[in-house]
Amino acid sequence: MRSITSVAYQGEPGAYSEQAIFDFFGPQDAVQPVPCATFDDVFDSVTLGKCDYGVVPVENSLGGSVHRNYDLFMRHALHLVGEVIVRVRWCLYALPGVGLNDVRRVISHWQALAQCERTLSRLLPAAEREPVYDTAGSVKMLAESGRRDTAAIAGRRARDLYGLPILCEGLEDDPSNYTRFVVLSRSPELPPQAGATLAAAHEYKTSIVFAMRNRPGALYRALAAFALRDIDLTKIESRPLQGSPWEYVFYLDFVGRADDVNCRRALDHLGEFATMLRVLGSYPRASSPE
């Protein structure tokens, strides 16, 4: 008997988060994606042991960070044990027989609407845009509603699942549209599937979160811990420190493993003046697919 890995994600079947699960944990018969209504539910599902892992988006190359998930890293004690990057191409769905001229309203997740903004302004200048909770879910809603004045934006996989035709494909304003997902776990141990990413990339990344006393030069000193050791930062994100208006926590991604000697020293150095420092995880670095 072969064991099935259960992985929580936010959205409906057909969402890019589900695609990310197959890309990382595939083949499809060895993994069970578990849809959740919200990102909070994904974190809870892993924390409570209902699922083995969770997969959540942290950043889109056009839309930027998914800030909600950064905030949830802080609220939970989960580990980041993998990353996966998915190429995003958006399709416009409508009921059979509906043409562009009939569309008065476009529904989708707000990030998808934002990524297609210029294309929509050209194709459907008068159509109202209405954010809903999920991309694939917007196609499901459309199929159920039977509305002939509405179109929905989702990835290609939604077609097989909800049986609606695609009016146009490649709606994104910029073709270099990728979403980066991370894999959440209760344990810092890497899942066996991470080996495939590592074989492709040969290097690790580490994600940390820290806070510092707010005084001139504070962030500069924090970055010195890495710059003075030639450690490459790939991402910095600031989020509000709850309860302290206009103070921030910083999320950093850098190349290397937290237990490499050089990285360990950088983290110790940062720890000397950080008021809070947590290593979220070290995991094989993913590359952007074609």
Q: Which of 97, 99, 146, 216 binds a second copy (CB under 8 A)?
A: 216
State the Cα–Cα distance between residues 217 and 120, nearest whole angstrom: 43
β partners of residue 209: 251, 278
Amino acid of residue 113: L
User: By rule CB under 8 A, what count of residues binds a second copy?
Assistant: 42
From residue 34 to residue 73, the character string flagging contacts with a second copy as x (rule: CB under 8 A) and all else as - is: --------------------------xxxxx--xx-----
Q: Is 244 in the site for a second copy (CB under 8 A)?
A: yes
Distances in Å between the Cα of 129 and the Cα atoms of 70, 75, 132, 156, 278 are 27, 32, 10, 20, 39
39 tagged catalytic: no
Q: Which of 168, 223, 277, 279 binds a second copy (CB under 8 A)?
A: 223
Q: Is 275 in the site for a second copy (CB under 8 A)?
A: no
Rg, C-alpha atoms of the chain? 21
How much of the chain is in helix, strand and coil states, percent to nearest 5? Answer: 35, 35, 35
Of the residues 119, 179, 197, 206, which is catalytic?
Answer: 179
* CB nearer to a second copy: pick between 6 and 247: 247
Q: Which of 28, 145, 176, 262 binds a second copy (CB under 8 A)?
A: 176
Q: Is 203 in the site for a second copy (CB under 8 A)?
A: no
Residue list 68-107, contact with a second copy (CB under 8 A)? 68
Sequence-distant contacts of 193-197: CB under 8 A, at least 24 apart:
193/5, 193/24, 193/25, 193/26, 193/82, 194/81, 194/82, 194/283, 194/284, 195/284, 197/24, 197/82, 197/83, 197/84, 197/283, 197/284, 197/285, 197/286
* CB nearer to a second copy: pick between 7 and 205: 205
* CB nearer to a second copy: pick between 102 and 247: 247
179 tagged catalytic: yes
Q: Which of 74, 131, 168, 269 binds a second copy (CB under 8 A)?
A: 131
Count of CA atoms in the C-beta half-sphere (13 A) of 181:
27
Amino acid of residue 171: L
Q: Is 279 in the site for a second copy (CB under 8 A)?
A: no
Tokens of 1: 């008997």
* Residues belonging to the active site: 179, 181
Q: Which chain residues interact with a second copy by CB under 8 A?
A: 60-64, 67-68, 110, 114, 131, 174, 176, 178, 180, 215-217, 219-221, 223-224, 226-227, 230-240, 242-246, 248, 288
